[in-house]
A and B are shown apart, each in its own frame.
Chain A
């Protein structure tokens, strides 16, 4: 451990790098070289803290409550992996609908780009599971061990009955909460009610048990122990976010022009006459930071944009009777005294692409036809010759994606005077199932244009012509 380590995002040799504050490279070096010291974030109150708590309650509330919500006598959101069907409210998705999942992921990625360009790491500060669960774990820790000072004192103190009791209580609650989280995670894949019954009767399947333990352990480890290290060392987004930032991006910044030179003073002193800026150097902004950085050193890649420093600094400014906003959401341009442009090409381009894909997603979902057809030619025999005609045998796989039983009508086209022979008069496919239908096609040899002719099977709902699907197949005849 000795030479400087510079992250790719700030490596001057990497070309397009974000402007590096003189202190930043050094800080990163320190952060990555130094042995990790536990960070004890101080509790904070204020507008952004309220926003974050609202987000935490809302997101975790949704996560824990959704598996218990029913829709059409079924769990509203159930990713039924064993049956290869995803139920989302009234819709059922099949592996054939992979396109939607891909579109959804692209949408999520683009939204991240859009919001990062607009206002920095909104995702990290308010919505990332790492933030949300860490916030909850910190809250539990604070209830049991007390505030920041008490926690530090407890950790420094030698082991005693009291310390053991407090630490054991904390970890037992953490583990139980993590286990509940793991249970909830698995209940998105196995119906929550079934899973609860299995849990209570100790009859849970091996894979469910495994994933519940895996997710619980990950929650406990990441939110209880790893915390900000996940963001600093493991998160890919933290490393490439600088590519989405520009001088008009809203970021949490310290107003250096106003704050410097910083220094302590008594309330009521005329600091300007003493040549001091507005920063009283109380270091509260450092104490509340969950990643332990000093925002006064400028934009740093460890900053997750949680705005805790804004809240705490505004309180101090109020107490000192200075105007608020020494640390605030602002842009690089504004800090340089220039005009900030919110609507700029980057935002417009991201916005247009985002809206375009959203539109495509909505359109394809609205015009989605809930029927699937696969045609498999008989593998054993390419064709059979009857007295007058050539016959090919197929197996048709009919997929009824609807939640009701459907009667279908099958047609075939492509060769003059061809005959479709089915062993059954009705094609009835139960709700949400795949049905294997044997079918024979006969055609006169004289009508075959070549050895292999393309034919088209068309399947439609007997009562709804809009539910229709076509599939091409080959009709094989003797060599000509």
Chain B
């Protein structure tokens, strides 16, 4: 990505893979913890959700968590890059 090339020569694809893979692992753990505490079928009593099976809810939940963790990591990486790179 544009802003990273100046601070680190690690290949862009490798950086993206690193973010996706690490957040993937964390999301699996988070999905496990979340859904062992909460039965997705009971969620429909609290919030208006479209009718979906448990397996569907787990899948959607997992991808939402992955989206959340990956976007947070991406933003972190973006923000810890130095603002000015002139030395």
**Nearest CB on A from B67, distance (A):** 15
Contact status of A234 and B21, CB under 8 A, knowing A5-B8, A32-B10: yes
What residues on A are CB-neighbors of B8 within 8 Å?
3, 5
A81 touches B25 (CB 8 A): no
Kindly supply a per-residue 1/0 record for chain B positions 9-47, scoring 1 wherever the CB is within 8 Å of any chain A CB and 0 otherwise: 111001001100110010001001101110100000000
Contact status of A233 and B18, CB under 8 A, knowing A207-B56, A208-B55: yes
Kindly supply a per-residue 1/0 record for chain B positions 55-87, scoring 1 wherever the CB is within 8 Å of any chain A CB and 0 otherwise: 110110000000000000000000000000000
Q: Which residue of B lies closest to A2 (CB)?
A: B9
A210 touches B9 (CB 8 A): no
B11 touches A32 (CB 8 A): yes
Q: Within the assembled complex, what's the spacing in Å between the Cα atoms of A82 and B55?
A: 6
Interface residues on chain A, number (Cβ under 8 Å): 29
A229 touches B14 (CB 8 A): yes
Interface presence of A1 (CB below 8 A): yes
Interface presence of A84 (CB below 8 A): yes
Contact of A234 among B18, B39, B54 (CB under 8 A): B18
Q: In this complex, which of A3, A229, A233 has the most chain B Cβ atoms within 10 angstroms of its Cβ? A: A233
A32 touches B55 (CB 8 A): no
What residues on A are CB-neighbors of B35 within 8 Å?
95
**Nearest CB on B from A330, distance (A):** 32
What residues on B are CB-neighbors of A101 within 8 Å?
32, 36
- Chain A, 208-245, CB within 8 A of any chain B CB: 208, 210-211, 226, 229-230, 233-234, 236
Q: Within the assembled complex, what's the spacing in Å between the Cα atoms of A32 and B54?
A: 42
Q: Which residue of B lies closest to A102 (CB)?
A: B33
Interface presence of A267 (CB below 8 A): no
Q: Is the interface of A mostly helix, strand, loop or mixed?
A: helix
Contact status of A33 and B36, CB under 8 A, knowing A208-B55, A229-B14: no
Q: Is the interface of B mostly helix, strand, loop or mixed?
A: helix
**Nearest CB on A from B60, distance (A):** 9
What residues on B are CB-neighbors of A206 within 8 Å?
56
Q: Which residue of B lies closest to A83 (CB)?
A: B54
**Nearest CB on A from B46, distance (A):** 14
Q: Within the assembled complex, what's the spacing in Å between the Cα atoms of A233 and B15?
A: 8
Q: Within the assembled complex, what's the spacing in Å between the Cα atoms of A373 and B3?
A: 55
Interface presence of A205 (CB below 8 A): yes
Interface presence of A98 (CB below 8 A): yes
What residues on B are CB-neighbors of A84 within 8 Å?
39, 54
What residues on B are CB-neighbors of A82 within 8 Å?
53-55
Q: Within the assembled complex, what's the spacing in Å between the Cα atoms of A65 and B32?
A: 25
Q: Within the assembled complex, what's the spacing in Å between the Cα atoms of A229 and B58?
A: 30
What residues on A are CB-neighbors of B22 within 8 Å?
234, 236
What residues on A are CB-neighbors of B56 within 8 Å?
206-207
Give the 5 A-B CB pairs with smallest separation, nearest first: A1-B9, A233-B14, A234-B21, A207-B55, A95-B36
B: which residues have CB within 8 A of A?
Answer: 5, 7-11, 14, 17-18, 21-22, 25, 29, 32-33, 35-37, 39, 53-56, 58-59
28 cross-chain CB contacts under 8 A: A3-B7, A5-B9, A5-B10, A32-B9, A32-B10, A32-B11, A33-B9, A35-B11, A81-B55, A82-B55, A84-B54, A95-B39, A98-B33, A101-B32, A189-B55, A205-B53, A205-B55, A207-B53, A207-B56, A210-B59, A211-B59, A233-B10, A233-B11, A234-B17, A234-B21, A234-B22, A236-B22, A236-B25
